Amino acid sequence: MRLYQTLVLTTLCITNVVHAIWLDTNNDTTIREDCNLIAKGLLDYYEGTKYGGTIGMFTPPYYWWEAGGAWGGLIDYTFFFENDTLVPLIKAALEYQTGDDNNYVPLNQSTTEGNDDQGFWGIAVMGAAERNFSNPEDPDKAWLTLAQSVFNTMTARWDENECNGGLRWQIFQWNSGYDYKNSVSNGCLFHIAARLARYTSNDTYVEWAERVWDWMYGVGLLTEGDWWFVYDGAKVANNCSNITKYQWTYNQGLMLAGCAYLYSYTQDKKWYNYTHRLLDGSRVFFKNISGSMVMYEAACQPSGTCNNDQRSFKAYFSRFLGLTSVLVPDTEPIITKWLVDSANSAAGSCSGGTDGHTCGLDWTNWTRGWDGMYGLGEQMSALEVMQNLMAHKRPAPYTASNGGSSLSNPAAGYGTSITNTSPLHLGPGDKAGAGIITAIVGVSLIGTCVWLIL
Ligand SMILES: *[C@@H]1O[C@H](CO)[C@@H](O)[C@H](O)[C@H]1NC(C)=O
Ligand SMILES: *[C@@H]1O[C@H](CO)[C@@H](O)[C@H](O)[C@H]1NC(C)=O
Ligand SMILES: *[C@@H]1O[C@H](CO)[C@@H](O)[C@H](O)[C@H]1NC(C)=O
Ligand SMILES: *[C@@H]1O[C@H](CO)[C@@H](O)[C@H](O)[C@H]1NC(C)=O
Ligand SMILES: *[C@@H]1O[C@H](CO)[C@@H](O)[C@H](O)[C@H]1NC(C)=O
Ligand SMILES: *[C@@H]1O[C@H](CO)[C@@H](O)[C@H](O)[C@H]1NC(C)=O
Ligand SMILES: *[C@@H]1O[C@H](CO)[C@@H](O)[C@H](O)[C@H]1NC(C)=O
Ligand SMILES: *[C@@H]1O[C@H](CO)[C@@H](O)[C@H](O)[C@H]1NC(C)=O
Ligand SMILES: *[C@@H]1O[C@H](CO)[C@@H](O)[C@H](O)[C@H]1NC(C)=O
Ligand SMILES: *[C@@H]1O[C@H](CO)[C@@H](O)[C@H](O)[C@H]1NC(C)=O
């Protein structure tokens, strides 16, 4: 047993946290059993199996986008543990929420849906294609086709009128944030393009990934230096020159894994270089506790201000780290150490709630164990950090030529509701709601500016 495991256990015993789940990162059975428990807790937030609930949606206050994030993590769960129990549930959710045009811009979500929201559902179905997840009967809902539809509708919104390119945060003009071009929206497009390139061997997707990368780099959303960082975004005013310098785990992960996919497919040294530089920069999201490197959301966790969205970011970051370590093998030692240390610490935090194994937000304090926080994001993050310990024990993401069986339609999504022109009829409540939410996000951002200085 390693030193930190002993420390975690000892402190848990001293503090009488009897329920914390026991994880042995060398024992696949305990990883699986822990993930089963955590997945069960995650699905407590699922609406679709409850009376009057909507298929694919989690209970309020969780936004639609986070459901896309959760399904993406659960697809991996079924694959890593070769457990088909949840497949029908996940499949129904992914199929129900495609929207009438099969592009993940469903009418119900038009008051809040941004490019990033669509992107996270796109990433979920891309993962479904790569994991050879059970194929839908309707060819228009084939996982790959849906991912292509998301890609095509996103690229149709590429906006050269402001800042020489880039996607805006919002799809619809009436939503706050339409004047903002951010890394998560552009990062989703970059990431999906990279994965489509590798899956389909179609170089048009590489060209798009390069276009997005070059734009983000040119504007200053990606910074070089000793460490490469991904900043949050910039308002279109003044040619996107005023960069909002918050750093989030999921943005770093989107770009990191995107580069890893591009290197895996093109073997171009450039992407290898960028993968390593972004990996070096990822170090800022790990707290060194007696040599143990524990993942944390550095921009909001220490100040206790993470909102519901931000509380799920470590889930995607864990997933993207796992993928990177598989696609660019020499990143594996450092990523495995980060995941093992973080998974152990996360397990130590899963001692809350009435079930005794609800997971917390902050994994960095072993004395305390569970920090009293709970929610969909906490469950997702603990699940993904633990299940990615399995990333090397199962096949790498499949492609069309080595195991994937999802139907391709490179033209999917063309001619559908791809642009941002015709406003829908919004009730005043809806509009105010969106505005207030954005205001709250804005205030908490200002309050939580944490400069990540090493
Ligand atoms: C792995 O964990 C399971 C369940 O806790 C246990 O039954 C089994 O003996 C462990 N295997 C090893 C090799 O330690
Ligand atoms: C398979 O997944 C289901 C749902 O999460 C879980 O209840 C079950 O215990 C899992 N089976 C095994 C063998 O781990
Ligand atoms: C849209 O919202 C209505 C009302 O809540 C619900 O009945 C329906 O299932 C939703 N459709 C989707 C695709 O979420
Ligand atoms: C606006 O920014 C882009 C990207 O950084 C740059 O290429 C372009 O020259 C700038 N345009 C003006 C008018 O400053
Ligand atoms: C840049 O953005 C910050 C934060 O949104 C704002 O306070 C500041 O006034 C902006 N500066 C300029 C020159 O627009
Ligand atoms: C990596 O990329 C940076 C930025 O483009 C460049 O300055 C550096 O020379 C590259 N390093 C290698 C080893 O290619
Ligand atoms: C972590 O901290 C320990 C001292 O507690 C130090 O020896 C080690 O080099 C640090 N590791 C990293 C990666 O910074
Ligand atoms: C960890 O939690 C304990 C118990 O809640 C608290 O006393 C201690 O100050 C915390 N340590 C840090 C570094 O926050
Ligand atoms: C992928 O799924 C298809 C259809 O179910 C199946 O024929 C094929 O064997 C699967 N590929 C792998 C690698 O399991
Ligand atoms: C490659 O992708 C592009 C962009 O979606 C598409 O227009 C083109 O038809 C695809 N080519 C092939 C051979 O599938």
395-438 per-position pLDDT tens digit: 999 999 999 999 999 999 987 655 443 333 222 223 222 222 22
- Per-residue model confidence (pLDDT) at position 151: 98
Question: Which residues on neighbouring strands pair with residue 77, listed in sequence order?
Answer: none
The one-letter code for the residue type at 239 is: N
387 near 72, Cβ under 8 Å?
A: no
Residues 187 and 153 in one domain: yes
Q: Say whether pLDDT at 8 is over 50.
A: no
Residues 325 and 453 in one domain: no
Q: Say whether pLDDT at 5 is over 60.
A: no
Q: Is 201 in the pocket of ligand 7 (CB under 6 A)?
A: no
Write out pLDDT tens, residues 356-399: 899 999 999 999 999 999 999 999 999 999 999 999 999 999 99
Name the residue with the closest Cα to ligand 2, atom 11: 83
Q: Report yes or no on 187 lying in a domain.
A: yes
Residues 344 and 436 in one domain: no
Q: Report yes or no on 1 lying in a domain.
A: no
User: CA 27 to CA 14: how far, in whole Å?
Assistant: 25
Name the residue with the closest Cα to ligand 2, atom 8: 36
- Per-residue model confidence (pLDDT) at position 146: 98
Name the residue with the closest Cα to ligand 8, atom 5: 368
Ligand 9: list residues with CB < 6 Å.
Answer: 132, 403, 405
Question: Which residues on neighbouring strands pair with residue 351, listed in sequence order?
Answer: none
> Nearest Cα to 66, choosing from 360, 384, 310, 257?
310
What are φ and ψ of residue 234, in 5° steps?
-155, 140
Q: Say whether pLDDT at 240 is over 90.
A: yes
Write out pLDDT tens, residues 164-194: 999 999 999 989 999 999 999 999 999 999 9
Residues 6+ apart with CB under 8 A from 220: 231, 234, 240, 241, 243
Which of 160, 164, 215, 231 gets mutated to test ligand 4 (max ligand atoms within 8 A of its CB)? 164
Quick one: average pLDDT of 329-355?
A: 96
Residues 392 and 447 in one domain: no
How many domains is the chain built from? 2
Residues 410 and 445 in one domain: no
Count of CB atoms situated within 10 Å of the CB of 283: 14
- Per-residue model confidence (pLDDT) at position 415: 73
Ligand 3: list residues with CB < 6 Å.
Answer: 54, 96-97, 106, 108
Residues 405 and 280 in one domain: yes
Give 260 Cα–ligand 10 centroid separation in angstroms: 22
Atom of ligand 8 nearest to the CA of 365: 1
Which of 148, 204, 207 gets mutated to test ligand 10 (max ligand atoms within 8 A of its CB)? 204
- Per-residue model confidence (pLDDT) at position 417: 53
Q: Is 450 in the pocket of ligand 2 (CB under 6 A)?
A: no
Q: Say whether pLDDT at 6 is over 50.
A: no
Residues 209 and 326 in one domain: yes
Query: Mean of the per-residue pLDDT values for the chain?
Result: 89
- Per-residue model confidence (pLDDT) at position 426: 29
Q: Please report which helix (H) or strand (E) contains residue 183, including its range.
A: helix 183-200
C-alpha dihedral (230, 235, 237, 243), degrees to nearest 10: -30
94 near 410, Cβ under 8 Å?
A: no
Note the ligand closest to the C-alpha atom of 142.
9
Q: Report yes or no on 376 lying in a domain.
A: yes
Note the ligand closest to the C-alpha atom of 179.
5
Residues 57 and 178 in one domain: yes
Note the ligand closest to the C-alpha atom of 237.
5
- Per-residue model confidence (pLDDT) at position 226: 76
- Which two structure tokens, joined as six digits, stand for 262? 């591009």
What are φ and ψ of residue 32, in 5° steps?
-65, -45
Residues 353 and 325 in one domain: yes
Q: Which domain holds residue 166?
A: 7-416
Q: Say whether pLDDT at 161 is over 90.
A: yes
The one-letter code for the residue type at 170 is: Q
398 near 79, Cβ under 8 Å?
A: no
Write out pLDDT tens, residues 103-113: 999 999 988 89
Give 158 Cα–ligand 4 centroid separation in angstroms: 16
Q: How many residues does the structure list for the chain?
A: 454
Q: What share of the chain is helix, strand, coil (3-state, %, to 5)?
A: 50, 5, 40
What are φ and ψ of residue 289, in 5° steps?
-115, 100
Q: Is 30 in the pocket of ligand 2 (CB under 6 A)?
A: no
Q: Please report which helix (H) or strand (E) contains residue 180, including its range.
A: strand 180-182
Write out pLDDT tens, residues 78-105: 999 999 999 999 999 999 999 999 999 9
Q: Report yes or no on 329 lying in a domain.
A: yes
Q: Report yes or no on 166 lying in a domain.
A: yes
Residues 6+ apart with CB under 8 A from 299: 246, 247, 248, 310, 448, 449, 450, 452
Q: Report yes or no on 211 lying in a domain.
A: yes
Give first-to-last CA distance, the chain, whole Å: 30
Concatenated DSSP letters for 346-389?
HHHH--BTTTS-B--S--S-TTT-S-S--SHHHHHHHHHHHHGG
Residues 141 and 13 in one domain: yes
Quick one: average pLDDT of 217-236?
A: 93
Residues 24 and 41 in one domain: yes
Which of 132, 137, 143, 401 gets mutated to test ligand 9 (max ligand atoms within 8 A of its CB)? 132
- Per-residue model confidence (pLDDT) at position 431: 29
Which of 227, 228, 259, 273 gets mutated to test ligand 6 (max ligand atoms within 8 A of its CB)? 273
User: CA 278 to CA 252: how far, in whole Å?
Assistant: 7
Q: Is 108 in the pocket of ligand 1 (CB under 6 A)?
A: no
Q: Is 3 in the pocket of ligand 7 (CB under 6 A)?
A: no
Q: Say whether pLDDT at 68 is over 70.
A: yes
Q: Report yes or no on 278 lying in a domain.
A: yes
Residues 143 and 288 in one domain: yes
Q: Domain with 313 in it: what CATH number?
A: 1.50.10.20
Give the 3-state secondary structure of residue 250.
helix
Q: Please report which helix (H) or strand (E) contains residue 34, including its range.
A: helix 28-43
Phi-psi region at 304: left, alpha or beta (left = phi > 0; alpha = psi -120 to 50): left
Strand extents, DSSP E, 267-366: 286-289, 292-295
User: CA 49 to CA 17: how far, in whole Å?
Assistant: 32
- Per-residue model confidence (pLDDT) at position 38: 97
Atom of ligand 3 nearest to the CA of 54: 9
Which of 301, 365, 370 gets mutated to test ligand 8 (max ligand atoms within 8 A of its CB)? 365
Q: Report yes or no on 379 lying in a domain.
A: yes
47 near 98, Cβ under 8 Å?
A: no
- Per-residue model confidence (pLDDT) at position 416: 67
Give 211 Cα–ligand 6 centroid separation in angstroms: 18
Note the ligand closest to the C-alpha atom of 244.
5
Query: What percent of the chain lies above the pLDDT cut of 90?
Result: 82
